[in-house]
Amino acid sequence: MRIFKEIRPLRDFVADKRRQGKRLGLVPTMGALHRGHLSLLEASKAENDLTLCTLFVNPIQFNNPDDLANYPATPEKDLEALRQAGCDAVFAPPAIEMYPTEPRISFDFGALSSVLEGAFRPGHFSGVAVAVSKLFHLTEPDTAYFGQKDYQQFCIIRQLVHDLNFPVRLKCMPTIRESDGLAMSSRNMRLTPEQRKSATGIITLLREAQQRLVNGDRWPVVQMELSKKYQAMSGISIDYLELADLRTLEILTEMREPDHSLLLIAGYVGTVRLIDNLKVSDSDLSVTP
């Protein structure tokens, strides 16, 4: 497995593989890898000649300095996991390599970035779009793999690729979960054992909301009752619980089409902020035992 910390040799490597006509898959991550990340790697390996994974905690997408400082880092473990999973190349640059000077560019995705995560994390998606644009330029992938867990991020990147004509195909892969349903996340390792139990409330809430919507309960009632219930029961401090059209991310006040409706949640368990989402019509919850 080739490991690059600098842009120049990475570019040479990519140019060489391009000349050989290799199909390249890209898996961008912030490290502290888990099976969710590795599922993206597997998808890429199945569809490409070569898979490149990036490990980069992108400082400009953190609106909260404590969140950046506390973001888990397990670089040696990550490299070992990638090696074992058969990753071909890794780009793990220090921040100074990606941003030798503070970037002046920023992105505004309008309604797509002013709701949900965008409303609670100002500047977050602009920072994501800057980093992903750079990674696309530097690695020139045929296909890039992202997870449904960060669904709004996927929508933002899809818009970025559309608006700027990046010649990249995007894949949104299912959320990989722990056996009790909790979505795998690098942030989960910061939970105490007790908080880890409470965190299961996030998927339990989403499933209960899903069930009630399918049964015909009205969304505003479900939204209010479940927010209160799980705040009290699991101690989850909810930033938002919303229903959105998964094609446009328009926030819905009533459910119209179950096939196109997505439940999205963000909340704190202790000081750890977790997010998750569930399609109303989804019966396959992609639980991995």
CA dist., res. 113 & res. 165, Å (int): 19
Of 173-181, 200-208, 225-233, 239-247: span binding ligand AMP (CB under 6 A): 173-181
Q: Does 181 bind ligand AMP (CB under 6 A)?
A: no
CA dist., res. 255 & res. 183, Å (int): 24
Q: Does 203 bind ligand AMP (CB under 6 A)?
A: no
The active-site residue out of 37, 137, 162, 260 is: 37
| CB within 8 Å of 2: residues ≥ 6 apart | 13, 88, 89, 90
Of 80-88, 112-120, 184-192, 215-223: span binding ligand AMP (CB under 6 A): 184-192
Which residue, 159 or 175, has its beta carbon nearer to ligand AMP? 175
Q: Does 149 bind ligand AMP (CB under 6 A)?
A: yes
Phi, psi dihedrals of residue 286, rounded to the nearest 5°: 50, 40
For tokens 């690059």, what's the residue? 4
Q: What residues between 37 and 56 interact with ligand AMP by CB under 6 A?
A: 37, 39-40
Of 81-89, 168-176, 231-239, 263-271: span binding ligand AMP (CB under 6 A): 168-176
Which residue, 50 or 182, has its beta carbon nearer to ligand AMP? 182
For tokens 């209960």, what's the residue? 208
For tokens 């690098």, what's the residue? 186
Q: Does 279 bind ligand AMP (CB under 6 A)?
A: no
Pick from 241, 252, 230, 245: which is nearest to 281 by CA? 245
Q: Is 86 exposed, middle or buried (0-12, 13-18, 19+ CB in 10 A)?
A: exposed
Pick from 134, 136, 135, 113: which is nearest to 124 by CA? 113
Q: Annotated catalytic, 124?
A: no
Which residue, 205 or 222, has its beta carbon nearer to ligand AMP? 205
Which residue, 43 or 226, has its beta carbon nearer to ligand AMP? 43
Q: Does 146 bind ligand AMP (CB under 6 A)?
A: yes
Catalytic residues: 37
In the complex, which residues of this chain contact ligand AMP (CB under 6 A)?
Answer: 29-30, 36-37, 39-40, 146-147, 149-150, 173, 175-176, 183-186
